[in-house]
Chains A and B, each alone.
Chain A
Amino acid sequence: MNKTAEQYWKANIRLVSILLAIWFVCSFLFGIILVEPLNTIKIGGVGLGFWFAQNGSIFTFLVLIYVYAKRMNALDVEFDVHED
């Protein structure tokens, strides 16, 4: 693997790690592990933990994939490994 490809892969791994950390936090941490303390915060009669488990995590997933696609496409160009 040449230098550029190596750096490209490192940048990729860094991005994926950050996004997966958020993935874990919004679903497993907010939606399951910390659900009781978060439920004491109410928005529109819905506990925050409950909301994350049933709606918030799904919205976060969408943002994660959007950010990933956008950042990766930028990385492809930056490291000149994009398709045509």
Chain B
Amino acid sequence: MDLQTLTYLVVGFTFALYIGIAFWARAATTGEFYAAGRGVHPVANGMATAADWMSAASFISMAGLIAFNGYGASVFLMGWTGGYVLLALLLAPYLRKFGKFTVPEFIGDRYYSRTARIVAVICLIIASVTYVIGQMKGIGVAFSRFLETEYDTGLYIGMGIVFIYAVMGGMKGITYTQIAQYCVLIFAYTVPAIFISLNITGNPVPQLGIGSTMADGSGTFMMDRLDQVVTDLGFKEYTTQVMGSKLNMFVYTLSLMIGTAGLPHVIIRFFTVPKVKDARSSAGWALVFIAILYTTAPAVGSMARLNLMNTIQTGEVGTVEGNIEIAKVPQWMTNWEKTGLLQWEDKNGDGRIQYYNDKNAEFAAKAEGWGWKGNEMTKVDRDIMVLANPEIASLPNWVIALVVAGGLAAALSTAAGLLLAISSSISHDLLKGVFIPDISEKNELLAGRLAMAGAIGVAGYFGLHPPDFAAGTVAIAFGLAASSIFPVLMMGIFYKKMNRSGAIWGMISGIGVTMLYVFQHKGIMFIPGTSFLGDMGPSWFLGISPNAFGAVGALVNFVVAILVSKVTAPPPDHIQHLVEDIRVPKGADTATDH
């Protein structure tokens, strides 16, 4: 069976499965729609959270970032996992004890203020919508690439699929669908990794593969070989190359961690478990399922890089026979050349490809002596690494089809979770909470579904006409969540004296500073793979990249909130009692509805 048919079959089957599950588990009450009736087992919830959390960025982009940024990409590995520690220790159990449906609802009640709730809704919507646009775009690209349709058609198909199961199923449907999606995506990620690790090191466990010797019998450690291969061609040493500066890496990691713990679609996950105890373990289970992919990613990234370098540099550097002949490039290279994401150009006309770092002046001079006239791999898009990996390692077609299905599962599950967070904040927080308090449950459910459909439309529109977003959207989403939502939630639980004015001004100044910085540098915030490393914006504050600025915004939020709360009236007694109450698990509401 050819690859195209197989891809159709595998993707079609997984989609039928998702829609079937959504139909079977469709929501009937607002409790089920927003919080799955609080009847989700912690392990199941952890798996769903993992699928929710790991988007196209984790599945498709991250290993590519690691491949080309080496040690520098550790910020993503630590940042996107360490946030779960903050979530588990500082937020999840208390928010579950509080026992409501949405993040703004907590903020509104804790800070006894509609204004605070509305500010929180605005932060949440901006962060979620910007994030979902990126997912929609990923869905469109994946569909069009593999089903060989136009990008627009791919996007419409994706919107339709998301619409059906997110709008119908609500949180209950989404949760069970995401469990299926997790299974698909993790299988699709680890199977090729195991094969490749076996090929290169003989060790089937990718996590151990990076610490093993090469399978070629040379006795060289895999990482030493990789360092040698890349430095031989003038690239930075894989295991030591830094992203920007150490300070930038520090702040970047912190931003991603705080952003993780502040993203509403992740937080609302912990409203869906039966007990406070379950909220604690649920975060742990989520991280277990995330860690399976994240600890595999360094192996996928480093081995993909090694394979790529060895494909082009087939022999000794500097000898004529050392480089691959253009006529003999493997099939996967010509396949990806068609997409425009992989390009080469025979600059010196020798019929072979030279792939080296021509920005390294010293090495470029040496290369000229060999008759090399510049790097001939003119474009190597980092995003193709995961998708191309099974082809590079000559794995069977069903593995390639599976990877496509995995990428789509990752993008769809995240999009659905984000859409739910958006719809609940509009129908539950704005309509029921602020404008129409006596709305019936049926109408609230309808409003939630309409809001979701509207959000899909908006995201789809931006997906069709991306306003130069791409990587920048993710930065804004994380920056916003980190600088606005996390600090107010944390202080709401751990600092009893934090009051209304402190919270409102904290949120506004936190987002304000972050957005200002991000917009100020919007022109340079796009991350163009490796060149980003050496290309520090001279105007960046202390060399901190805009993507990393959320942590600074969060700091501003904390400082402003505390200062304002010191000079304004403390919160009333009943609020202080509320805080005392959410600190102890006893008496949590375990009912399915309220």
Q: Which residues of A contact B (CB under 8 A)?
A: 1, 5, 8-9, 12, 16, 19-20, 23, 27-28, 31-33, 35-36, 39, 43-47, 50-51, 53-55, 57-59, 61-62, 64-66, 68-69, 72-73, 76, 80-84
Q: Is B71 within 8 A of A50, CB to CB?
A: yes
CB contacts under 8 Å to A, within B202-223, are: 207-208, 210-213, 220-223
- CB < 8 Å: which of A23, A36, A53 contacts B85? A23
Asked if B529 lies at the interface with its beta carbon under 8 angstroms from chain A, I say: no
> In the complex, A82 Cα to B584 Cα: how many Å?
8
Quick check: A44 and B74 within 8 Å, CB to CB? Answer: no
Residues of A contacting B221 with CB < 8 Å? 44-46
Q: With A81-B585, A82-B586, A83-B275 given, is the CB distance from A54 to B89 under 8 Å?
A: no
Is B246 engaged at the interface, CB distance under 8 Å to the other chain? yes
A28 to B287, CA, bound (A): 19
**With known contacts A45-B211, A46-B211, A83-B585, A54–B85 Cβ distance under 8 A:** no
Complex Cα distance A36/B237, Å?
A: 13
**B294 at the A interface (CB under 8 A):** yes
Tell me if B135 is interfacial: C-beta within 8 Å of chain A.
no
User: For residue B203, which residue of chain A has the nearest CB?
Assistant: A44
The 8 Å CB contact of A46, one of B74, B210, B250, B588, is B210
Residue pair A16, B89 in contact (C-beta under 8 Å): yes
Apart from A5-B584, A36-B240, A65-B89, 11 more pairs, CB < 8 Å:
A28-B253, A39-B240, A50-B223, A50-B240, A54-B71, A62-B291, A64-B89, A68-B284, A82-B585, A83-B276, A83-B586
Q: Which residues of chain A are near B207, meaning CB under 8 Å?
A: 55
Contacts of A68 in B (CB 8 A): 88-89, 280, 284
**Residues of chain B lying within 8 A (CB to CB) of residue A9:** 583
Contact A54 B298 (CB under 8 A): yes
Pick from B9-17, B75-83, B309-317, B438-446 the stretch touching chain A. B75-83
What separation, in Å, do the CA atoms of A81 and B253 have in the docked complex?
36
Cβ contact of B295, chosen from A23, A45, A58, cutoff 8 A: A58
Question: What A residues does B275 contact at CB under 8 A?
Answer: 83
Cβ–Cβ < 8 Å partners of A83 in chain B: 275-277, 585-588, 590
Q: Taking CB as reference atom, which chain B residue is nearest A67?
A: B284
Contact with A59, one of B74, B210, B253, B291 (Cβ below 8 angstroms): B291
Chain A positions within 8 Å of B93 at CB level: 72
In the complex, what distance in Å separates the CA atom of A29 from the CA atom of B294? 20
The reply to whether B584 and A8 contact each other, CB–CB distance below 8 Å, is yes
- A-B pairs, top 8 by smallest CB distance, nearest first, are A45-B221, A44-B211, A53-B74, A65-B284, A69-B280, A54-B298, A81-B584, A81-B586
Are the C-beta atoms of B81 and A64 separated by less than 8 Å?
A: no
- In the complex, the answer to whether A1 meets B585 with C-beta atoms within 8 Å is no
A57 touches B82 (CB 8 A): yes
The reply to whether B77 and A65 form a contact with Cβ atoms under 8 Å apart is no
Residues of B within 8 A of A76 (CB): 277, 585-586
Q: How far is the CB of B89 from chain A (nearest CB, A)?
A: 5
Closest to A72 in B: B280
Interface size on B, residues (CB 8 A): 52
Interface residues of B (CB under 8 A from A): 66, 71, 74, 77-78, 81-82, 84-85, 88-90, 93, 207-208, 210-213, 220-224, 239-240, 246, 249-250, 253-254, 275-277, 280-281, 283-284, 287-288, 291, 294-295, 298, 580, 583-588, 590
Residue of A nearest to B76 (CB): A54
Known contacts A9-B583, A16-B89; is A54 also within 8 Å of B74 by CB?
Answer: yes
Chain B residues near A82 (CB-CB < 8 A): 277, 585-586
Complex CA gap A42/B187 in Å reads: 31
Min C-beta distance of B476 to chain A, whole Å:
24
Complex CA gap A66/B580 in Å reads 25
> How many Å from the CB of B90 to the closest CB on chain A?
7
| Pairwise interchain contact A73-B280, C-beta atoms closer than 8 A | yes
Most chain A CB within a 10 A radius of its CB, from B239, B580, B587? B239
Could you give 14 example pairs across A and B, Cβ below 8 Å?
A12-B583, A19-B85, A28-B250, A45-B224, A46-B210, A50-B239, A57-B78, A57-B82, A68-B89, A69-B281, A73-B277, A82-B277, A83-B275, A83-B587
**Residue of B with least CB distance to A42:** B221
A53 to B223, CA, bound (A): 15
Whether A16 contacts B90 in the complex (CB less than 8 A), given A57-B81, A68-B280, comes out as yes
Contact of B284 with A62 in the complex, beta carbons under 8 Å: yes
Shortest distance in angstroms between B354's beta carbon and chain A's nearest beta carbon? 28
Q: Are A32 and B81 in contact (CB under 8 A)?
A: no
Q: Which residue of B lies closest to A63 (CB)?
A: B284
